[in-house]
Amino acid sequence: MNWLLLFEQTLNGFQLGTLLFLLAAGLTLIFGIMDLVNLAHGSLFMMGAFFCASLADWTGSFLFGALLAVPAAIALGIVVELVALRTLYDRNHLDQVLATFGLILFFNEAVRIVWGSAGRAIPLPALLKTHVQILGIPYPTYRIMTISIGLLVALGLYVLIARTRLGMLIRAGATNREMVGALGVDIRLLYTLVFGLGAGLAGLAGLLTATVQTAEIGMGEHILIPSFVVIVIGGIGSIRGSFVAAIIVGLIDTLGRSYIPDLLKLFFSELVASTAAPALSSMMIYLIMAIVLVLRPQGLFPAHAG
Show me where the domains of the chain are located.
3-305
Secondary structure string (H, E, C) spanning 238-253: CHHHHHHHHHHHHHHH
SS3 at position 296: coil
Return the closest-CA partner of residue 217 out of 117, 145, 81.
117
Average pLDDT rounded to a whole number, residues 236-248: 90
SS3 at position 89: coil
Model confidence pLDDT, tens digit, residues 158-176: 898 888 888 888 777 766 7
List Cβ neighbours of 154 (8 Å cut-off, separation of 6 or more).
Answer: 18, 21, 25, 239, 243
In the DSSP assignment, the letter for residue 211 is T
Give phi and psi for 40, each to the nearest 5: -80, 5
Average pLDDT rounded to a whole number, residues 191-219: 91
Residue 98: the pLDDT is 93
Residue 301: the pLDDT is 87
Contact of 151 with 158, CB cutoff 8 Å: no
Contact of 207 with 153, CB cutoff 8 Å: no
Residue 304: the pLDDT is 57
Model confidence pLDDT, tens digit, residues 84-109: 998 888 888 899 999 999 999 999 99
Distance CA 201, CA 121 (A): 20
User: In terms of C-beta density within 10 A (0-12 exposed, 13-18 middle, 19 or more buried), how is residue 175 classed?
Assistant: middle
Return the closest-CA partner of residue 115 out of 214, 185, 187, 251.
214
Residue 273: the pLDDT is 76
Distance CA 196, CA 193 (A): 5
Average pLDDT rounded to a whole number, residues 224-248: 90
List Cβ neighbours of 94 (8 Å cut-off, separation of 6 or more).
Answer: none
Q: Considering Cα of 174, then 176, then 182, then 184, what sign does the dihedral take?
A: negative
Distance CA 176, CA 174 (A): 6
Residue 48: the pLDDT is 94
Query: 3-305 — its CATH code?
Result: 1.10.3470
Residue 306: the pLDDT is 45
Long-range contacts of 287-293 (CB under 8 A, 24+ apart): 288/233, 288/248, 288/249, 288/252, 289/229, 289/232, 289/233, 292/232, 292/233, 293/232
Give phi and psi for 38, each to the nearest 5: -105, 90
Mean pLDDT across the chain: 87
Residue 199: the pLDDT is 95
Distance CA 280, CA 88 (A): 37
SS3 at position 300: coil
Residue 131: the pLDDT is 87
Euclidean distance between the first and final Cα of the chain, in Å? 38
Residue 244: the pLDDT is 94
Average pLDDT rounded to a whole number, residues 300-305: 71
Average pLDDT rounded to a whole number, residues 111-122: 88
Return the closest-CA partner of residue 235 out of 167, 158, 154, 303.
303
